[in-house]
Structure 1
Amino acid sequence: MVMQKLELPLSQTQKVRFERAIERLQSLSSTANSDSSVIVTDSIPVNHDDAFLKGHGTSEVDGELLATVCGVVERVDKLVYVRTLRARYKPEVGDIVVGRVIEVSQNRWRVELNFTQDGVLMLSSMTNPDGGQRRRTSVDELNMRNIFVEHDVVCSEVRTIQHDGSLQLHARSEKYGKLEKGQLLKVDPYLIKRTKPHFHHIESLGIDLILGCNGFIWVGEHVEVRDPLIIADQKDDEMISSPTKNTVKDQTHIPLETRQTICRLGNAIRVLSNLGFTMTLEVIMETFNLSNSNNIDIYDMLGSEFHVVVTENEAERRRTKRKN
C-alpha cells in the first residue's frame, strides 16, 4: 500500500479521522509483511554469513546493503531486491492494455498506451470483421477506418516488445477490439497488479470493467461477445425484414441507470486512485457499494468526507480480513 498526499480540504475532525485511519493501515501493513518499506540509503538487514545476491534497487557500501530506490524489500531465495512502488508502466508480453487510437497509417494503427512509446496494432494482427482468417489485401487497408479511427478506445494484448522499446499489439480474439458506451479512466500503473483476470463482467450491474496493466481502466455497458458470423446473419435478417428501419438510436442509446452506474464506478476508481489503494474488483465494488449504502450522490463522492470514509472502511476491511 502506498498512501498519496490527499490534497482535498479537510476539516479538523476529518483530518483527525483520516490520520487515525492511515495509522491503522500502516500498522496492518507493517505487521502483515515481514519485509519493510525503505527509502534511498536505508539499510537492508541481511545475514552476511549466508550468501545472498544483490538485486535491483540495492547496493553494498562498506559491507552494508543499502537501498538505492524507494520501495518494499522483496526476497526470493537468496536474491534481495527493492520493488519500486511508484514506477512507470513496464510492459510485459501478454499484458492486457487499454489505449486510444491516435493515428491510422497504411496498414497499422498507432495507439497511446500511457507508455514512453506508442503501441502499434498491425492490420494483420486484427480479427477480420467476418471472423475469417485470410491474407489482408489492399482493399482491407482502404477499409481500415471502418474498424478504428482516431480517438477510438481499444483493448488489445502486448504481442512483442521490440529492441527499440516499441510495443507490438494484437487483437485476435473477440474479447479485444473497440470499446464503446463507457468511460476511460487513467490511474498510476503501479496501482494495477498483474492477475489472471483483467476482464470483469459485473452481472448485477450489467457493466464491463477492464483493468489495463498500463494504468488505463475501462468502465462500460456490458457487451455480449458473440460469433461475428451469427451477428452478420442477424443484421442481414433485420435488413430484409425492415430495410428502412433506423437502428442508429438503438446502437448509441444507454439507459440513464446504466450511465449513472458507470459514473459511480468511475468516481469510486478516482477516489481509490487519489488515496493510492491498489485497484482490484473487490475494493472497487466495496467503494461503489459504500457510496450507495451511505446515500452519497455521484458528484459528492469526490469530496473530502467520502475520501475519509473510504480510508476508514479500507482499514476496517483489512483488519477483518487479517483476523479471518
Structure 2
Amino acid sequence: MGLMIEDKQFVIPGQRLAEGMDYLPANGTYREEDNIYSAQLGIVNVVGRLVKVISLSGRYIPKTGDTVIGKITNIGFNGWMVDINYAYESALSLKEATSDFIERGADLTKYFDFGEIIVANVINVTKSKAIDLSMKGPGLRKLKGGKLIEVTSSKVPRIIGKQGSMITLIKNATNCKIIIGQNGWVWILGDDLNDEMLAAAAILKIEQEAHTSGLTDKISAFLKENSK
C-alpha cells in the first residue's frame, strides 16, 4: 500500500500511481476504488499526500545541447532559477552564468534580475529531471526589450525552415532580430511595435499552417500584404 511510482517519474494515462487511501488525487489524476491513476501523459509531482500529474502533451522536453530562451524566476546564493517552458524550473549556476569572479554575498541582480529574459544552453538533464543551463558560448546572453511569444516546440524546425530560409524571410521583411528557442519561446526585436507584431503574426501563421504545402509562398505573400 502506498506510492507505486517515484516523484518526477514519467507516466502514461491509466498508469496506477498509488494504492490505498493514504494519498489524495489532485490535478491530472483520478481515484478508482482504492487506487489513484494518471489521467494524462506527464510527470508525477507528489506534495505531501497529494499526487498530481503535470501534463507534457505537446510540451517541450529538454535535451542536452538545446538552445533555449528562459525567464529568471528566482535568485539564490549560488545562482538563478529559470523558467524554460518546462514542467520544472532549470538552474543557472554562478560558474555557468559568467566568467567574472563574483564575491560571496554579492548582489546577483546586477547580472540577472527577476523577470529578465536570457538565451542559454541546456548542459545537463538528470534522471530526476533537474535541468542545468549555461550562458557560456556564442550568442548566449541577456535579451533586452522586444517581444516574447510562444509556439509549439515541435513546430520550431518548420518555423526556422531549411537552412534557416523561413525565419530569414521574416527577418528581411520586418527588419526584426529574431531568436527562436528550441523550447518554443521566440524573442522578437524590431524598430517599432508594428514590425514586431508583423513578425509575430507570420511566425504564428507558420505554426498554424505547418502541415500545409507551399507555406513559404504563403508567408511571403502574407508579409508583402501586411508590410508598411
The within-5 A match list for 1:129-208 is: 135-138=101-104, 141-193=105-157, 202=171, 205-208=174-177
Specify whether residues 283 and 125 from structure 1 end up closer, same or farther in structure 2 by C-alpha distance, changes over 3 A only.
farther
Q: Which residue of 2 aligns with 1:113?
A: 84
Tell me the distance in 2 between the aligned counterparts of 1:103 and 1:283: 40
Tell me the distance in 2 between the aligned counterparts of 1:158 and 1:183: 23
Tell me the distance in 2 between the aligned counterparts of 1:283 and 1:107: 46
User: Could you tell me how far 1:173 is from its partner in structure 2?
Assistant: 2.6
Tell me the distance in 2 between the aligned counterparts of 1:269 and 1:116: 24
Identity %: 20
Partner SS, residue 218 of structure 1: strand
Tell me the distance in 2 between the aligned counterparts of 1:285 and 1:169: 37
Tell me the distance in 2 between the aligned counterparts of 1:216 and 1:113: 8
Specify whether residues 276 and 164 from structure 1 end up closer, same or farther in structure 2 by C-alpha distance, changes over 3 A only.
farther
The higher relative CO (CA closer than 8 Å, separation ≥ 6) is in 1
Partner SS, residue 157 of structure 1: strand
User: Could you tell me how far 1:285 is from its partner in structure 2?
Assistant: 9.2
Tell me the distance in 2 between the aligned counterparts of 1:177 and 1:151: 14
User: Could you tell me how far 1:203 is from its partner in structure 2?
Assistant: 5.8
Q: Which residue of 1 aligns with 2:205?
A: 271
Tell me the distance in 2 between the aligned counterparts of 1:283 and 1:183: 24
Contact 2:81 2:92 in 1 (8 A): yes
Tell me the distance in 2 between the aligned counterparts of 1:137 and 1:177: 21
Query: What value does the CA root-mean-square deviation take over the aligned residues?
Result: 3.1
User: Could you tell me how far 1:137 is from its partner in structure 2?
Assistant: 2.4
Contact 1:155 1:177 in 2 (8 A): yes
Larger helix share, 1 or 2 = 1
Partner SS, residue 265 of structure 1: helix
Specify whether residues 286 and 154 from structure 1 end up closer, same or farther in structure 2 by C-alpha distance, changes over 3 A only.
farther
Partner SS, residue 193 of structure 1: helix
Tell me the distance in 1 between the aligned counterparts of 2:112 and 2:217: 31
Tell me the distance in 1 between the aligned counterparts of 2:97 and 2:141: 8
User: Could you tell me how far 1:190 is from its partner in structure 2?
Assistant: 1.3
1:290 equivalent to 2:221? Answer yes
Query: Which structure's CA Rg is the greater one?
Result: 1
Q: Which residue of 1 aligns with 2:179?
A: 210
User: Could you tell me how far 1:144 is from its partner in structure 2?
Assistant: 1.3
- Count the aligned residue pairs: 164
Q: Which residue of 1 aligns with 2:38?
A: none
User: Could you tell me how far 1:168 is from its partner in structure 2?
Assistant: 0.1
Match of 1:100 among 43, 59, 71: 71
State the TM-score, normalized to the length of structure 1: 0.44
The within-5 A match list for 1:1-324 is: 87-128=58-99, 135-138=101-104, 141-193=105-157, 202=171, 205-221=174-190, 255=191, 258-273=192-207, 275-277=208-210, 287=219, 289-295=220-226
Tell me the distance in 2 between the aligned counterparts of 1:197 and 1:137: 43
User: Could you tell me how far 1:192 is from its partner in structure 2?
Assistant: 1.6
Partner SS, residue 137 of structure 1: coil
Unaligned runs of 5+ in 2: 1-56
State the TM-score, normalized to the length of structure 2: 0.61
Contact 1:100 1:152 in 2 (8 A): yes
Specify whether residues 291 and 153 from structure 1 end up closer, same or farther in structure 2 by C-alpha distance, changes over 3 A only.
same
User: Could you tell me how far 1:161 is from its partner in structure 2?
Assistant: 0.6
